[in-house]
Homo-oligomer: A and B are copies of this chain.
Amino acid sequence: MSIVQKQNKPGDTSPVLEVPNCAACRQRHLSICAAFGEHELVSFDRVVQHKTIPAKTVLFEQGTMADFVFSVSEGTVRLFRLLPDGRRQIIGFAIKGDFLGTAMSDRHEYTAEAVDTIKVCRIPRLAFQSMLDEKPHLLKKLHEIAGREIHTSQDQIVLLGRKNAEERVAAFLLSYRERLARVFTLSVHIPLPMSRQDIADYLGLTIETVSRTISKLARDKLLVVVPDGIRILDLDRLTQLSDG
């Protein structure tokens, strides 16, 4: 086990833990792997591949065979669907600890693409499937994850169906902050590795509207824009806004 310095992007010099095996994985308790006992991990280890993937790389593509499921252990992944004419809707952002493949369908239902440099654990779907069949507590854990996924999808449906631009941006910032808090410490500083275009495609808006809205929130002193993210100034008002 070795700690190596790795430049995820310029300016980011935080040490990144190389993960040679699941037992030593720091993200274990955050992820689906939390369902495994120590000795189960050993057999899990046999089918898992740990991979570092550079920014903007497609992890898997909508419509292709889902030969693998993934667990994200570092970085940010955008999950999206494309319409025939190129319109893009981002379904969600996956971060450290998130599992990709909850639905267990044989074809991918969306495309997954690395936003920045990511690390993932890749598991052959069939191997994962047979583990599920053997270990009910793993399936239970997976179903628990699916339940949360359904819940956040419904939040997103309400946001897209009934909220205006300002409410959408506020809700995005706060929900993304909550997600980060599961993994990092809760802070008024919210790093945003994804582009404005990504945020726009997540919120069903255009990049210009997102930019204008963030500018307005800054003008109104609810937040300030900082390099690679934002800082919240008025959490209460932002929360009020996001709830509609």
- Residue positions of A touching B, CB distance < 8 A: 81, 83-85, 87-89, 91, 102-105, 109-110, 132-133, 136, 139-140, 142-144, 146-151, 153-154, 156-158, 160-163, 201-204, 243-244
Contact = CB atoms under 8 A, between A and B. Distances in A.
Given A133-B140, A153-B157, 8 more contacts: A81-B158, A104-B147, A109-B151, A139-B140, A142-B143, A153-B154, A156-B157, A160-B160
Contacts of A144: 104
A158 B144 CA distance: 24
Given A83-B243, A157-B91, A147 B147 contact: no
B110 A154 contact: yes
A162 B88 contact: yes
A81 B244 contact: no
A232 to B, nearest CB: 21
